[in-house]
Amino acid sequence: MRVVGLMSGTSMDGIDAALIETDGEEVFWLGAALTQPYDAPTRALLVQAMEDARGLNHRTDRPGVLCDAEVRITDLHAEAVLRLLEHLRLTPGDIDLVGFHGQTVFHRPDAGLTVQIGVGERLACSLGVPVMADFRAADVAAGGEGAPLVPVFHRALVQRLALPQPVAVLNVGGVANVTVIDGDAPPIACDTGPGNALIDDFMFARTGVPCDVDGQTAAKGTADEERVAQVLEHPFFAKPPPKSLDRNEFRRFVAERAGLSGLSAEDGAATLTALTAATVAAVVPLLPRPPAVWIVAGGGARNPTLLAMLARRLGAEVRTADAVGWSADALEAHAFGFLAARALKGLPLTFPTTTGVAVPMTGGVLFRPK
């Protein structure tokens, strides 16, 4: 199948769209990708949507601006697909399926609720292509964490590489998550903690720039290890995998524990970057054996200061996804193309070792164009 995967992650920087050729078991080709950035009004609408989603009790409720936000982002996803196809000189008739993650506005698996906004039917009708959406709901309904979903894709990719095992695939987006693959053993996975989100917020508040470009600010600072250690006392970090996070989960805790207000922009950025690296390293003692190689994807792969801190704290080889022939920026979009193909075939997306669900589960809801 030729599938376009779509992901709009917790950083809310935009929509990633990527083409993949797969049968849902093997990956035949990781195709071209692009990012459709969210403009400032769309980002503001999504921030408000997340605020309005806080009191959600039912996954179909759409209080406040949620309904507007859902339609707006659906249409932007259609634009992203059309732009990608145009770039490839293809038309919607040339693809078999679209994998539409949607924008997470609420994630409380403990309360049995995870909500990704996006109208699958509207996207299917506007493109004239079947759309697989709502990937997390079935897992959460069955008692799983509903995240991470990408491990089964990471496993398919790692199987094609000749690398010493175990191999860890680390995605550093707004939130960071890891998959550990060790031969034929079921992949072990979890969210590890904050990825770039806290660094982004801090940089925006201090400098008006929404991220620490290339880790340059952190590179000039010194991490305050005591503050990092204070944050690591949160019980989340001692909990064995699987486990997942809402994007805002650590905001208040880090503000209270790390109290960054007294630090310079450089030292604050260095401390938050060290925190991301330290929370990733905190997973290692929870694994059966330490990974020999770490492959880093997501926006964090573009931050050399973070990569250096990871290598030091993990004491293992750290490579970027691009260095092994994948796309660090498009890996999650490729993943949702792969997951859509699996869901279409009824193959499992989640496993007891990845989301804590009792038995392997398929998922997704298929929308066909009318």
Ligand X SMILES: Nc1ncnc2c1ncn2[C@@H]1O[C@H](COP(=O)(O)OP(=O)(O)OP(=O)(O)O)[C@@H](O)[C@H]1O
Ligand Y SMILES: CC(=O)N[C@H]1[C@@H]2OC[C@@H](O2)[C@@H](O)[C@@H]1O[C@H](C)C(=O)O
Q: Which residues bind ligand X (CB under 6 A)?
A: 9-11, 13, 171, 173-175, 195-196, 200, 211-215, 298-300, 302-303, 332
Angle among Cα 189, 194, 198 to the nearest 5 degrees reads 165
Q: Interface with ligand Y includes 13 (CB under 6 A)? A: no
Rounded CA-CA distance 144/140 in Å is: 5
DSSP code at position 310: H
Specify whether the CB–CB gap between 363 and 370 falls below 8 A: no
Among 22, 177, 327, 350, binds ligand Y (CB under 6 A): 177
Residue 296 contacts residue 319 (beta carbons within 8 Å): yes
- The rounded distance, in Å, linking the Cα atoms of 190 and 145 is 9
- DSSP one-letter string for 233-274: TSGGGGSPSS----TTTTHHHHHHHH-GGGS-HHHHHHHHHH
Rounded to whole angstroms, how far apart are CA atoms 342 and 97? 11
The answer to whether 176 and 217 have CB atoms below 8 angstroms apart is no
Closer to ligand Y by Cβ: residue 219 or 287: 287
Cα(170)–Cα(320) distance, rounded to whole angstroms?
9
Q: Is 350 in the site for ligand Y (CB under 6 A)?
A: no
Comparing CB distances to ligand Y, the nearer of 221 and 298 is 298
User: Which partner from the list ligand X, ligand Y, none does 147 bind, CB cut-off 5 to 8 Å by kind?
Assistant: ligand Y
- Closer CB to ligand X, residue 16 or residue 52? 16
Stretch that binds ligand Y, among 35-43, 69-77, 145-153, 285-293 (CB under 6 A): 145-153
To ligand Y, the closest distance from the beta carbon of 148 in angstroms equals 3
Nearer to ligand X, 174 or 242 (CB): 174
Q: Which residues contact 246 (CB under 8 A, 6 or more apart)?
A: 106, 107, 108
Nearer to ligand Y, 244 or 305 (CB): 244
Two tokens at 27? Answer: 């990956």
Among the listed residues 35, 244, 276, 279, the single contact to ligand Y using CB under 6 A: 244
Q: Closer CB to ligand Y, residue 114 or residue 353?
A: 114
196 lies in the site for ligand Y, by CB under 6 A: no
Q: Does 355 bind ligand Y (CB under 6 A)?
A: no
Q: Does residue 175 bind ligand Y (CB under 6 A)?
A: yes
Contact set with ligand Y (CB under 6 A): 9-10, 104, 107, 114, 147-150, 173, 175, 177, 191, 244, 332
